[in-house]
Amino acid sequence: MGEKIKIWTRQDASILDILEDEGRYIAKREYIERKMEDCAKYYLEVYSWYTRKASEIVDKPQDVKYPIWVSVTSDFMLQQTPDTVILELLVDKNLVIVTDSEKWGRIVNLWYVPLNKKDEDAYDKKLEDYGISNHSNAYMSSFYPQLKSEIIKSWNRLFDNSYSLSDLKQGTIWEVKKEWVQRVIR
């Protein structure tokens, strides 16, 4: 066993029954569809991309299809909303993939993840030259496969910790085990 860290995850309150009955919770497609509603198609695309890439960093159990999002500091912990609980977990540090939340925010919005301000300006200029008003239009349009490819390729920068776009960090784990739960905030 390695170094342990404390993390937090906000989940639907039904997670408590799942943990009690099964001893383990994993994210499922239907949970994402229920939570994201009309946007679920795009989230599932991005989550599938993330799962493929992140599983190269931390092995995932074979039955896992999607990540579970966690806060890696109490300052950045998601707050409770109706019908949710916050689980405070103690896990092996090597099970948590920590990323820059600004980079992830760009990915879920289907945007290009720049290396720096100069790179961002150059990509914005490229879109302008194509007459495209924003990054997500380039991603969703079937008319710009090269631009979409560049956007997706830029997402690999999410895992490049040599630079950040923000100071806010978040993480993912593949599962929540009952024995990891230190506290339930209701």
Hunting for tokens 């405070």 — which residue is that? 88
Block means of pLDDT (10 residues each) for the chain, length 186 residues? 93 96 92 74 89 97 96 90 96 98 96 96 96 91 94 98 95 98 96
Rounded distance between C-alpha atoms, residue 106 and residue 151, angstroms: 10
Predicted model pTM: 0.91
Rounded distance between C-alpha atoms, residue 92 and residue 113, angstroms: 29
- Identify the pLDDT of residue 28: 87
- Identify the pLDDT of residue 1: 63
CB-based burial, 128-150: b 16+ in 10 Å, e otherwise = eeeebeebbbbbeeeebeebbee
Give residue-wise pLDDT tens across range 60-110. Answer: 999 999 999 999 999 888 898 999 999 999 999 999 999 999 999 999 999
